[in-house]
């Protein structure tokens, strides 16, 4: 129950996914404007799955013309260890549904290296993030030194997983690495890399976008009044910055 009231304030329930997508575009565009003006860059972390579809209003007028895309730097919360043109690739999904439709400089899109093993790709991505922290493209948390992204757009699976952090898996407890890998993901494909919870929770803003009645149980476990002590990964999302929930009626149907 602790923290329920502050979460309550940041939870929006929309009649439809269409309404959610409209509001999400306004929210992202507003933050983009704010960060572009205050620090000349906007670091955005994408997830895979259904999230990308919910970003579709951003690539339509008025936002396509209003957003300063040159300030965007795009990252992934997680990626599957498959070639970039594979249907399971989160990059592939984001490219087709979003990135190919915006005038973002190609060098500002930080995809995972698909030529490497899971271990190698995780190390390589962490090295990339360290370089970008050093040159101040990515901010750093004053609290713990982890990279502090301006906005992290997280989806959630019906089982309550976020990024590639799954319930009961030891990776949810990783507290040193920035990026790690999994070779036994319960959801296929089995090999993935993922940001860790300290990085997720260092974010300045997190939006959790959850659509569909199939996710209502995990939403209830997180936002409902009878909280369990065996936390789902989504319940471990607790940023130093602001957390905003975007739910459709189905996802909120058990609250
Ligand atoms: O496997 C993954 O699943 C989650 C949730 O996907 P969704 O299709 O149920 O929204 C996603 O956020 C993550 O990035 C992805 O790799």
Query: Could you tell me what percent of the chain has a pLDDT over 90?
Result: 94
The rounded distance, in Å, linking the Cα atoms of 156 and 115 is: 27
Nearest CA to ligand 1 atom 12: 155
What are the boundaries of each domain within the chain?
A: 17-223
Q: How is the beta sheet containing 242-248 ordered, strand by strand?
A: 11-14, 242-248, 205-210, 151-154, 42-46, 72-76
How is residue 128 annotated by DSSP?
H
Could you tell me if the CB of 78 is within 6 A of ligand 1? Answer: yes
**Rounded mean pLDDT, 142-149:** 96
Task: With a cut of 50, say whether residue 2 has pLDDT above it.
Answer: no
Architecture of domain 17-223: 3-Layer(aba) Sandwich (3.40)
Ligand 1 pocket, mutate which of 45, 75, 78, 81 (most atoms under 8 A from CB): 78
Predicted local confidence at residue 9, as pLDDT: 56
Ligand 1 pocket, mutate which of 155, 164, 169, 208 (most atoms under 8 A from CB): 155
Task: With a cut of 90, say whether residue 12 has pLDDT above it.
Answer: yes
Predicted local confidence at residue 35, as pLDDT: 98
Task: With a cut of 50, say whether residue 4 has pLDDT above it.
Answer: no
**Residue recorded with tokens 């999302």:** 237
Task: With a cut of 80, say whether residue 255 has pLDDT above it.
Answer: yes
From ligand 1's centre to the CA of 3, what distance in Å? 26
From ligand 1's centre to the CA of 143, what distance in Å? 29
Lowest mean pLDDT among 4-18, 78-92, 122-136: 4-18
**Rounded mean pLDDT, 19-47:** 98
Task: With a cut of 50, say whether residue 133 has pLDDT above it.
Answer: yes
The rounded distance, in Å, linking the Cα atoms of 244 and 253 is: 18
Lowest mean pLDDT among 84-88, 210-214, 219-223, 224-228: 224-228
Could you tell me if the CB of 250 is within 6 A of ligand 1? Answer: no
From ligand 1's centre to the CA of 163, what distance in Å? 7
Predicted local confidence at residue 241, as pLDDT: 96
Q: Which residues contact 30 (CB under 8 A, 6 or more apart)?
A: none
Predicted local confidence at residue 225, as pLDDT: 84
Ligand 1 pocket, mutate which of 20, 21, 48 (most atoms under 8 A from CB): 48
ipTM (interface pTM): 0.98
Provide φ and ψ at 35, rounded to 5°: -75, -35
Could you tell me if the CB of 90 is within 6 A of ligand 1? Answer: yes
**pLDDT tens-place string over residues 62-93:** 999 999 999 999 999 999 999 999 999 999 99
Core vs surface per residue 10-31: b (16+ CB within 10 A) or e: ebbbbeebeebbeebbebbbeb
Task: With a cut of 70, say whether residue 132 has pLDDT above it.
Answer: yes
Q: Which residues contact 16 (CB under 8 A, 6 or more apart)?
A: 248, 249
Name the pTM for this structure.
0.96
């Amino acid at each position: 129950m602790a923290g329920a009231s502050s979460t309550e304030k940041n939870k929006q329930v929309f009649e439809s996914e269409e309404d959610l997508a409209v509001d999400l575009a306004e929210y992202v565009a507003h933050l983009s404007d704010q960060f572009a003006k205050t620090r000349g860059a906007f670091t955005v972390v994408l997830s895979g799955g259904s999230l990308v579809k919910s970003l579709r209003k951003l690539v339509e007028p008025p936002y396509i013309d209003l957003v300063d895309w040159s300030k965007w730097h795009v990252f992934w919360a997680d990626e599957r260890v498959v070639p970039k043109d594979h249907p399971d690739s989160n990059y592939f999904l984001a490219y087709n549904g979003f990135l190919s439709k915006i005038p973002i400089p190609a060098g500002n899109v930080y995809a995972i290296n698909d030529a490497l093993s899971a271990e190698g790709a995780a190390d390589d991505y962490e090295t990339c993030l360290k370089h970008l922290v050093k040159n101040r493209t990515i901010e750093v948390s004053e609290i713990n030194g982890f990279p502090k992204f301006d906005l992290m757009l997280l989806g959630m699976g019906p089982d309550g997983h976020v990024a590639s952090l799954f319930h009961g898996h030891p990776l949810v407890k990783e507290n040193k690495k920035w990026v790690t890998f999994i070779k036994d993901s319960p959801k296929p494909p089995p090999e993935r890399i993922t940001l860790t919870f300290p990085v997720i929770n260092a974010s300045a803003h997190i939006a959790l976008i959850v659509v569909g009645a199939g996710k209502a149980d995990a939403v209830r476990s997180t936002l409902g009044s009878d909280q369990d002590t065996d936390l789902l990964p989504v319940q471990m999302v607790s940023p130093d910055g602001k957390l905003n929930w975007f739910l459709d009626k189905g996802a909120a149907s058990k609250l």
